[in-house]
Structure 1
Amino acid sequence: MGTRDYPLDRVRNFGIIAHIDAGKTTTSERVLFYTGSQHKIGEVHEGETTTDWMEQERERGITITSAAITCFWTPTGEADKKDTSKKIRFNVIDTPGHIDFTIEVKRSLRVLDGAVVVFDGVAGVEPQSETNWRYADEGKVPRICFINKLDRTGASFERSYASILDRLTKDAVRMQVPIGEEGDHNGVVDLLTREAVYFEGEMGGTVRRDSTIPENLKADVEKYRAELIEKIVSEDDAMMSSYLDGVEPSLVDLKKTLRKAVIDNKIVPVYAGSALKNKGVQLVLDAVVEYLPSPLDLPPTKGINPDTGEEVFRKASDDEPFSALVFKLQTDPFVGALSFFRVYSGKIEAGSYVYNASTGVKERLGRIVRLQADKREEVKEVFTGEIAAAVGLKEAKTSNTLADEANPMILEVIKAPDPVVSMRIEPKTKADQERMGMALKKLSDEDPSFRVTSDAETMETIIAGMGELHLEILVDRMKREFNVDANTGRPQVAYRETILKEADANVKYIKQTGGKGQYGHVSIKIRPMEPVEPGVKLKNNVKRDAHFEFINNIKGGVIPQEYIPAVEKGIKEAMERGIVAGFKMEDISVDLIDGSSHDVDSSEIAFKIAASQAFKEAAAKAKPVLLEPIMKVEIVVPEKFMGDITGHVTSKRGAIDSIDDRGMAKSINAKVPLSEMFGYTTALRSMTEGRGVMAMEFDHYEVVPQNVAQDIIAARK
């Protein structure tokens, strides 16, 4: 085996995340340009970007799948740019900002060590910014903020910074003050060094530092610099003590303390600039090096030994047993199936066998490629802390752990959200029918938030996803990539059913024929499922997942142990088609309290049928209701349209949560049933002369009002 060409402390794995249209992909393109990975800057508005490499991405100007890119950066302060010992390896992932592609953000955050969060300098914090921030909080991902687009009319660094403090975190702190805004934006002041920084030459490629600060900014610089230093020294008692005695720490000590605070998620540095106008991006890259962690800065990776169930830990070292997480599958037009993986420990060579600890399957790792968006570089070996893609792994799925067979471990899985929109799909011709099955399988393998099912009654194929755009793009990909023409039905809401009170049922299933009969007898009690605090250890007789709890309270073996799984299976199958309108039932706790068996006639099938019948009987008495997905909606409109839009939202059964100022516009925040929101973007455009924009995401399920439920039930009959 070979040795790594870059020490681990000079590796940074980070993502670039933002709300749609905050300028994230443009920022990624500048990262590629300044790191020398491409010689021409691609612009989103010209459909030329490297990270947006799918056809639909370039057409729509949005990022759909996370592009993984490896590039190298020499910090701006280094005089000798050709000295390779100063270079830092960046593994960068550009993620989508559109809410329908949230799974891509979750997946990339799972395998990254840090993130650059990009904000629109006009809009500040937007709904998807909050969602992504929440995901980063869940994963304890250290962050740097970049307030972008400060060249735009209406841009305000101060207002955007205030929105970060107000809506995301009180731990944010300015690292810079912009020199001018809107048309006058031409640089920044570095608060730590008290230097004005300008970006000159072709594409702003020359970074010039000047100790002379513009006169009109001097007072602000001193004020905000004092705030920054106080924030940093508050993280170190000894430093704080000497600072209070009037001794300012050295620049080296300030940066060292700030680095530790950022990695510990105690401080979030905020930078300023305009990626489109080539201002500020290089200093963000310097900050990635100075403040975001290398794999060595993070605690050992935790997993479970699949053989013993015990917790195991792996340090970030090439000498540890191999462990890696598959975080994305993608079909590449040139090499076929790609499995993207992040190596947490050890190393692996192309051509060797790899053990899938999640499935117990061993496969040959044919080729390994490193990606620059849609360009591929073949590599012989990958090491700890690297992100690469394997060609031709047939069994690997998203969230599978690849490991050393002699020292297996399973890493924490990436949980996919449940779909909220579904639609019927059918092939146009017989030839399309043959290809459609394969296309749907490949697409659902790639995207865990995309589900494919078959309606048992109508035999129709149903596809489900996170929104209209999500499904529209997947149907579009079927046509482009798999040559499948398909007709789709209207989008349908993913309704659910549940119960509101406790009920019980006692059912005997007896069937006597000429030979061996059937006998199964169960007595159950069902109730609405109560939430459980995370980390609470369940009793041995309790099985629980996100939406179902099964409690086995059988005493004295009145139902033999071998039939208990059949009882649970019968109940779960009955829950697949609810009794109100045939929608899936959720959030129910089932207590198996009694029953009986027959030495000769009892069987798994008899107990399964008895349990299914008992559940339906109990559910009918437990006040069953219909649930609908409620969406968190933000609509931004010019003030003159606010009255019309709030009235319109209310007419759609929406509840207004707040109305906030957003520059010259108003931001209306509301909760609205998904069923009322189909096609709303078109209606909004026509009501606001094309000036209104909207974003929405799933929030929770709620009981459907009786008058609305009656129409839904009638339509299902």
Structure 2
Amino acid sequence: MGRRIAASRLFAPVRSLFSGNASLESNRHLVRHFAGLARPKEDPCTWKERMEKIRNIGISAHIDSGKTTLTERILFYTGRINEIHEVRGKDGVGAKMDSMDLERERGITIQSAATHCTWGDHQINIIDTPGHVDFTIEVERALRVLDGAILVLCGVGGVQSQSITVDRQMRRYDVPRLAFVNKLDRTGADPWKVIEQLRKKLRHNCAAVQIPIGLEDEFQGLVDLVHNKAFYFTGTHGEIIKEVEIPQDLVAFAAEKRHTLIEAISEVDDVLAEKFIADEPITANELLAAIRRTVISLKFFPVFMGSAYKNKAVQLLLNGVIDFLPCPIEVSNYALDQKKKEEKVELTGSPDGPLVGLAFKLEEGRFGQLTYLRIYEGVIRKGEMIVNANTGKKVKVPRLVRMHADDMEDIQEAGAGEIVAVFGIDCASGDTFTDGSVKYTMTSMNVPEPVMSLAITPANRDSLPNFSKALNRFQREDPTFRISLDQESGQTIMSGMGELHLDIYVERMRREYKVETTVGKPQVNFRETITQRADFDYLHKKQSGGQGQYGRVIGYIEPLPEDSEKKFEFENMMIGQAIPSSYIPAIEKGFLEAINSGSLIGFPVERVRYVLVDGAAHSVDSSELAFKLAALYAFRQCYAAANPTILEPIMSVELKAPVEFQGSVTGDLNKRKGIIVSSGQEGDDCVLMAHVPLNNMFGYSTALRSMTQGKGEFSMEYYQHAQVPKETQQKLILELKKTKG
């Protein structure tokens, strides 16, 4: 006998959930997620029970893997939106999470967007992040505050270059994750190839928790390996889930893949291993519990499957989010106590604890600056005073909202584990807010260095005020977007993560601030370094009436190892008090000022250690300024003797093109001084990985299109700074001399 379960008004789009011959009892593992929607309010839960019902997740992937399409389906199935719109906005609306016109026009996500929805009696806070490497900071700061993530992979493309970057970011912040192999309806889709790539390329202990029923045009549904049931998705938007027994032709394959799943978990979970070794039957609940334990401990990576675009299997993925990803109190979060020399303090998530919240993202809203906060402990309330732990400033919370892309819902308070936004607070990205009873700061995010610069000037002098406003706003919102002034030319230089990154900001300036700009030729952010040790012995002495200046420094500079995490290092190896200790900070300051600009082409100097071994001071004429200048001039004096060289940014380029164009594509990469790291074949396409100097990659998209009749595509991300060849170095130095005239 068929069963239909009507969802509550929050689940309005889904008129019926199940059809077919399945009983309500056998559907219990699905029903539990919907039961909470119709449940009347009872006594207030304890804070731990409330926290157990929260999931903070991010959706990340390589560009064009279907992240935003997946988020759109999640919002629809959870009743957050009533209609589905596609990413490129062909219907004039566009996906809910792509609220910028530029995002809808280009069909890409530029800014991460936050939303929240309800699945059963659980609240899910979601951040949809960009896939393009130029906007990697959006992924970085989202992962910094999330408790779990979904790594979306294209069923055809598999693990691509940005998938590797995103996975590296997830590892950096120890984020438990699920994989969702999307686009199984596409020609060439192969989930087993993707799982193999997850094992080999990303080195994950992973296994499928589902198998597809058909692929490509014949993709109809999924077999759930945990519960040993098959699911089909029907209805206009796949909202009717039909649960049946596993088709006979898939029973043996499902048993084999379930055995593989149990085996992969048993390798890292002692509880399941005992039953597996004893060859005892393993129930669905035992398997569920084992998967959850191993996902939270980062030892296992379950792989889900489906097609977001074709409305298949998204509901089962939501079940997986609830079942396997941690709630806020299952993840260890630490703050640094500034009163106790940055001693680590574990945050429990208790509402009775002191307020601790991290400002992880800033936006210019309609009513001023919008600050996104992740609350880690305590409660934030509208109208109360909070303290910026980084600056010590007290501010009032004038308005507290919960975000739904560019819409907002006013709330009176929010507790630990929640992601909210506050208006009217002046702060920087990465600042920590408390209630003033403690001086805690959260650990900062990893911010990559910009690799490309453009000279930019407003086309009209009347636009200068808006031009300045735009640049200030963009800098506050995006830590990878930097503005500087070229001292010699007087030009404004904007630096970012790539051509697209800077192009988007130029376009936003025109649209949002009505400022037309003139943009100069892109400039690569070179660096300088030294290759050998050089000694210095410099005396800074000046006497021109009144107190003079006297400072002598003796020591050497030497290169740091290439694998050193530090870009520069100052070391005081002086024995005795030849220079009073009060002047040592001034000497370090002089060194830091000196490395801001090398003498070859004027770029910052990296990978250098400055060692002070001796010196001399004067009882009357010595001062901090004298020793700062002595250190600065000493560095400049010995820099040439240290055999300086120029470093250029090298990009990791992943390229895909039809096999017939492989020869011309490879030849072109060689011309650009690229080094082919690996090559392979996917279907009719060749896939190349290469390391290429960024300076040689300008205009590559146009060149690739013409070489491959528009069929080639590539993505690139920063890999490292490496020494330029001697002829390139001479050319760069000559170019600098010409510009100086």
TM-score by length of 1: 0.94
Do structure 1's residue 530 and structure 2's residue 561 form an aligned pair? yes
1:38-66 deviation line (CA, Å, top 9, x unaligned): 00101013251111111211111100111
Superposed displacement of residue 307, structure 1: 5.5
Describe the SS at the equivalent of 1:576: coil
Superposed displacement of residue 415, structure 1: 2.1
Aligned residue in 1 for 2:3: none
Describe the SS at the equivalent of 2:63: coil
Bigger shift: residues 167-176 or 685-694: 167-176
- Write the distance in 2 (CA, Å) between the matches of 1:134 and 1:3: 36
Describe the SS at the equivalent of 1:360: coil
Describe the SS at the equivalent of 1:661: strand
Give the counterpart of 1:618 among 632, 638, 642: 638
Give the counterpart of 1:123 among 144, 149, 157: 157
- Write the distance in 2 (CA, Å) between the matches of 1:453 and 1:698: 21
Amino acid at match of 2:632: S
Give the counterpart of 2:281 among 239, 242, 248: 248
Aligned residue in 1 for 2:217: 183
Describe the SS at the equivalent of 2:474: helix
Superposed displacement of residue 301, structure 1: 2.6
Do structure 1's residue 45 and structure 2's residue 73 form an aligned pair? no
- Write the distance in 2 (CA, Å) between the matches of 1:485 and 1:458: 21
Aligned residue in 2 for 1:342: 374
Do structure 1's residue 577 and structure 2's residue 592 form an aligned pair? no
Aligned residue in 2 for 1:64: 110
Question: Contact 1:423 / 1:489 at 8 angstroms: preserved in 2?
Answer: yes
Amino acid at match of 1:35: T
1:538-585 deviation line (CA, Å, top 9, x unaligned): xxxxxxx83110012233322222222221111111111101111110
Amino acid at match of 2:61: A
1:83-482 mapped onto 2 (5 Å cutoff): 87-211=121-245, 213-306=246-339, 308-332=341-365, 334-394=366-426, 396-482=427-513
Bigger shift: residues 640-649 or 599-608: 599-608
Aligned residue in 1 for 2:586: 566
- Write the distance in 2 (CA, Å) between the matches of 1:253 and 1:564: 63
Describe the SS at the equivalent of 1:7: helix
- Write the distance in 1 (CA, Å) between the matches of 2:272 and 2:623: 73
Give the counterpart of 2:530 among 499, 523, 528: 499
Superposed displacement of residue 200, structure 1: 1.2
Gaps of 5+ in 1: 75-86, 534-544
Question: Contact 1:19 / 1:128 at 8 angstroms: preserved in 2?
Answer: yes
- Write the distance in 1 (CA, Å) between the matches of 2:339 and 2:441: 7
- Write the distance in 1 (CA, Å) between the matches of 2:250 and 2:510: 56
- Write the distance in 2 (CA, Å) between the matches of 1:163 and 1:246: 30
Superposed displacement of residue 249, structure 1: 2.3
1:636-655 mapped onto 2 (5 Å cutoff): 636-655=656-675
Describe the SS at the equivalent of 1:342: strand
Closer, same or farther: CA 273–15 of 1 in aligned 2, 3 Å? same
Amino acid at match of 2:560: M
- Write the distance in 1 (CA, Å) between the matches of 2:728 and 2:543: 45
Superposed displacement of residue 161, structure 1: 1.9
- Write the distance in 2 (CA, Å) between the matches of 1:654 and 1:451: 28
**Number of paired residues?**
691
- Write the distance in 2 (CA, Å) between the matches of 1:552 and 1:345: 41
Aligned residue in 1 for 2:647: 627
Describe the SS at the equivalent of 1:516: coil
Question: Contact 1:306 / 1:357 at 8 angstroms: preserved in 2?
Answer: no
Amino acid at match of 1:146: F
Question: Contact 2:137 / 2:448 at 8 angstroms: preserved in 1?
Answer: yes
Question: Contact 2:176 / 2:297 at 8 angstroms: preserved in 1?
Answer: yes
Question: Contact 2:562 / 2:607 at 8 angstroms: preserved in 1?
Answer: no
Question: Contact 1:428 / 1:487 at 8 angstroms: preserved in 2?
Answer: yes
Superposed displacement of residue 3, structure 1: 9.2
1:351-385 deviation line (CA, Å, top 9, x unaligned): 11111112222212211111100111011111000
Describe the SS at the equivalent of 2:380: strand
- Write the distance in 2 (CA, Å) between the matches of 1:587 and 1:483: 42
Do structure 1's residue 681 and structure 2's residue 701 form an aligned pair? yes
Describe the SS at the equivalent of 2:615: strand
Do structure 1's residue 556 and structure 2's residue 590 form an aligned pair? no
Superposed displacement of residue 124, structure 1: 0.6
Give the counterpart of 2:100 among 38, 41, 54: 54
Closer, same or farther: CA 439–306 of 1 in aligned 2, 3 Å? farther
Gaps of 5+ in 2: 1-43
- Write the distance in 2 (CA, Å) between the matches of 1:143 and 1:13: 11
Question: Contact 2:332 / 2:347 at 8 angstroms: preserved in 1?
Answer: no
Bigger shift: residues 116-125 or 425-434: 425-434
- Write the distance in 1 (CA, Å) between the matches of 2:45 and 2:545: 72
Bigger shift: residues 195-204 or 40-49: 40-49
- Write the distance in 2 (CA, Å) between the matches of 1:199 and 1:2: 35
Question: Contact 2:206 / 2:264 at 8 angstroms: preserved in 1?
Answer: no
Amino acid at match of 1:337: Q
Amino acid at match of 1:329: L
Amino acid at match of 1:36: G
Amino acid at match of 1:33: F
Superposed displacement of residue 290, structure 1: 0.1
Aligned residue in 1 for 2:27: none
Percent identity between matched residues is: 42
Superposed displacement of residue 347, structure 1: 0.7
- Write the distance in 2 (CA, Å) between the matches of 1:477 and 1:532: 38
Closer, same or farther: CA 6–252 of 1 in aligned 2, 3 Å? closer
1:613-654 deviation line (CA, Å, top 9, x unaligned): 100112110010000000000100010001110111011100
Amino acid at match of 2:397: L
Superposed displacement of residue 300, structure 1: 4.4
- Write the distance in 2 (CA, Å) between the matches of 1:643 and 1:109: 40
Amino acid at match of 2:161: P
Aligned residue in 1 for 2:539: 508
Closer, same or farther: CA 276–376 of 1 in aligned 2, 3 Å? same
Describe the SS at the equivalent of 1:371: strand
1:416-452 deviation line (CA, Å, top 9, x unaligned): 1110000111112222112222211111111001111
Superposed displacement of residue 602, structure 1: 1.6
Question: Contact 1:505 / 1:614 at 8 angstroms: preserved in 2?
Answer: yes
- Write the distance in 2 (CA, Å) between the matches of 1:287 and 1:208: 18
